[in-house]
Amino acid sequence: MSAPEAQAETQTAPGGDAEGSTERRLNMIEAINEALDVTMARDPDIVIMGEDVGYFGGVFRCTAGLQEKYGRTRVFDTPISECGIIAAAVGMGAYGLRPVPEIQFADYIYPGLDQLISEAARLRYRSAAEYIAPITVRTPFGGGIFGGQTHSQSPEAIFAHVSGLKTVIPSTPYDAKGLLIAAIEDNDPVIFFEPKRIYNGPFNGYYDKPAQPWKKHAASIVPEGHYTIPLGKARIVTEGEALTVLAYGTMVHVAEEVCRQKGVDAEILDLRTLVPLDIEAIEASVRKTGRCMIVHEATRTAGFGAELSALVTERCFYHLEAPVLRVTGFDTPYPHSLEWAYFPGPVRIGEAIDKILSE
């Protein structure tokens, strides 16, 4: 890797107070677009493909302008076939390219599962490293945009369960750029989930209040050029003594707002990557606070929260002063009209905080 390159370790996000700053500010879409641009300029083997990603620039605009800049053989539309998209990426990876396919919504990824689980994730192992799948599958996930059951799902646990896949979820523009560059440069297959509810602003859970743009948030200051955030390093969002909150994606911001409002001295960890997981940061925090709450938007049963809860219980049991709690979506499909009843919002999180602190 070449300089200049920032390596963000386990620490708070750069920036400081956003007001009055003259630094460049990006929303998450722009940060992702810039990560793709920076890596494509550096590495001619990177290609982008997916439904509507070419001329149109993607339904969420993450690939806007890239086809014009890099040409139609490096950024192109695909047939509506997630199986074909992932499979072609695996074949391209075997050739020596570094494909970055986009699956338009995480809910659409299932036709490509066999190619991800049995192929991309297994190539290195089954061929004793003769063939690898250095591909990064980008896909928007999560609800809160009235997407109904087929545009709102959070299927991260399915992928975290598969040996050989890395699972990455950013929660800020700064992280999105650094993590995506790291994912693309990684030689293992990465599923990069983009929390689409916070593409344009750090949603705090209060859907009935005006949306906030990213430009008021410290982590919207995104350096130009190349930098990476190592996969497997959590970010301490707020330091605290009373309670550890493990979250990722949209829920980082919701948890932060609830803790702020309740005046809870919480230590919030943004996990950033589920596999590999920053177990050291989790253990250090829970041993300090003695309480652990896990927040994710995905359905509860066999969700990633179950894995986190088991790890914390196994490794920090004698430091715990209360049972580990999970705050999650319900075990239903994501309902259209009642999506805010499904969403693990401020009330559900607040109740859980009260409970865990009262134990």
Partner 1 sequence: MADRPDSAAGQGSNKPSLSLHVPEPHYRPGDAVDFSHVDAGEAGREPRPDEACDPAEMRDLAYGLIRVLGDDDRAHGAWDPKLDADTLRTMLKNMAVTRAFDERMFRGQRQGKTSFYMKCTGEEATSISASMALASDDMVFPSYRQQGILLSRGYPMIEMINQIYSNRGDKLKGRQLPIMYSSREHSFFTISGNLATQTPQAVGWAMASAIKGDSRIAATWVGEGSTAEGDFHAACTFAAVYNAPVILNVVNNQWAISSFSGFAGGERTTFAARGLGHGIAALRVDGNDALACYAAERWAANRARANAGPTLIEFFTYRAEGHSTSDDPSGYRSAQEREEWPLGDPVMRLKRHLIALGEWDEERQETMDREAAEMVRATTKEAEANGILGHGLHHPFRTMFEDVFEELPWHLREQAEQAVKEREIKFPEGVPK
Identify whether 151 is a catalytic site residue. Answer: yes
Number of residues engaging partner 1 in binding (CB under 8 A): 44
Helix (H) or strand (E) holding 5: none
Closest CA to 344 of 252, 268, 267, 251: 251
The length of the chain, given as a count of residues: 359
Of 130, 208, 210, 358, which one interacts with partner 1 (CB under 8 A)? 130
* Min dist. Cβ of residue 127 to partner 1 (A): 4
CB distance 181 to 38 below 8 Å? yes
Burial of 95 (0-12, 13-18, 19+ CB in 10 A): exposed
What is the C-alpha separation between 253 and 265, in angstroms, rounded? 15
Whether residue 170 contacts residue 28, with contact meaning beta carbons closer than 8 Å, is answered with yes
Which 173-232 positions form the footprint of partner 1 (CB under 8 A)?
186-188, 232
- Under 8 Å CB-to-CB from 324, ≥6 apart: which residues? 292, 293, 294, 308, 309, 312, 313
Query: Binding segment for partner 1 among 77-85, 215-223, 234-242, 332-340 (CB under 8 A)?
Result: 77-85
Helix (H, G, I), strand (E, B) or coil at 285: helix
Give me the residues paired with residue 238 across strands.
268
Residue 31-70 contact track with partner 1, rule CB under 8 A, x = bound: ----------------x-----------------------
User: Which residue stretch of 50-58, 163-171, 233-241, 287-295 sits at the interface with partner 1 (rule: CB under 8 A)?
Assistant: 163-171
Query: Which residue's structure tokens are 């990426």?
Result: 89
Task: Provide the minimum distance between the beta carbon of 82 and partner 1 in the complex, in angstroms, as a whole number.
Answer: 9
Contacting partner 1 within 228-287 (CB under 8 A) = 232, 275-277, 279
In this chain, which stretch among 51-59, 75-83, 212-220, 250-258 interacts with partner 1, using CB under 8 A? 75-83
Residues that bind partner 1 (CB under 8 A): 47, 73-74, 78-79, 81, 83-84, 87-92, 94-97, 111, 114-115, 118-119, 123-132, 163-164, 166, 186-188, 232, 275-277, 279
